[in-house]
């Protein structure tokens, strides 16, 4: 979603003592009163927060477009009159593809989805890692 380079560029606008608070605020929306006070009075910090949130939004737009395209492909390939069984098999195939993706891509998908659903406690990534291991083809 955000690249480390872009984050480093944004951190250059933030006083060093607030770097961790800035990252926390951008990732979770949570902030200590001291950081909020700094944010209220520092225009560079305000721009950095706006830019970071725009990066996050752009990442979600990209993820949404990918998921929409996958969904449209799945719908186009679904049998006519397909009921819950065909939807279930499509969902399983989508989960298999996500689980088989590169670990970093998988983590980004899971983290973005968890944030969208308001459940960013880190457990979702562990569940998907476990699912990925279970879905790998067994050696013959």
Judged on CB neighbours under 10 Å (0-12, 13-18, 19+), 94 is middle
> Which residue has 């706006």 as its token pair?
50
Q: How does pLDDT run along the chain (140 residues), one tens digit per residue?
A: 345 678 888 999 999 999 999 989 988 889 999 999 999 999 999 999 999 888 878 777 777 778 877 777 766 765 555 555 566 676 677 777 776 777 777 777 766 666 665 655 556 556 656 655 665 555 65
Q: What's the pLDDT at 88? A: 66
Give the span between the Cα atoms of 134 and 100, in whole angstroms. Answer: 10
Q: What's the pLDDT at 49? A: 93
Rounded to 5 degrees, φ, ψ at 6 are: -65, -40
Give the span between the Cα atoms of 109 and 117, in whole angstroms. Answer: 12
Q: What's the pLDDT at 12? A: 93
DSSP label of 118: T
Give the span between the Cα atoms of 107 and 113, in whole angstroms. Answer: 10
Burial 80-89 (b: 16+ CB within 10 A, else e): eeeeeeeeee
Q: Where are the domains of the chain?
A: 1-77, 83-140
């Amino acid at each position: 979603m955000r690249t480390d380079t872009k984050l480093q560029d944004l951190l250059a606008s933030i006083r060093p003592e607030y770097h961790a608070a800035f990252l926390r605020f951008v990732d979770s929306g949570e902030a200590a009163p001291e950081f909020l006070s700094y944010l209220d009075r520092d225009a560079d910090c305000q721009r950095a927060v706006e830019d970071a949130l725009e990066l996050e939004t752009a990442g979600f737009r990209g993820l949404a477009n990918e998921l929409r395209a996958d969904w449209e492909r799945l719908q186009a390939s679904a049998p006519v009159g397909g009921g819950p069984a065909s939807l279930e098999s499509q969902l399983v195939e989508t989960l298999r593809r996500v689980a088989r993706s590169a670990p970093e891509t998988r983590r980004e998908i899971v983290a973005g989805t968890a944030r969208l659903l308001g459940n960013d406690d880190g457990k979702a990534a562990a569940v998907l890692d476990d699912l990925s291991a279970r879905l790998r083809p067994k050696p013959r």
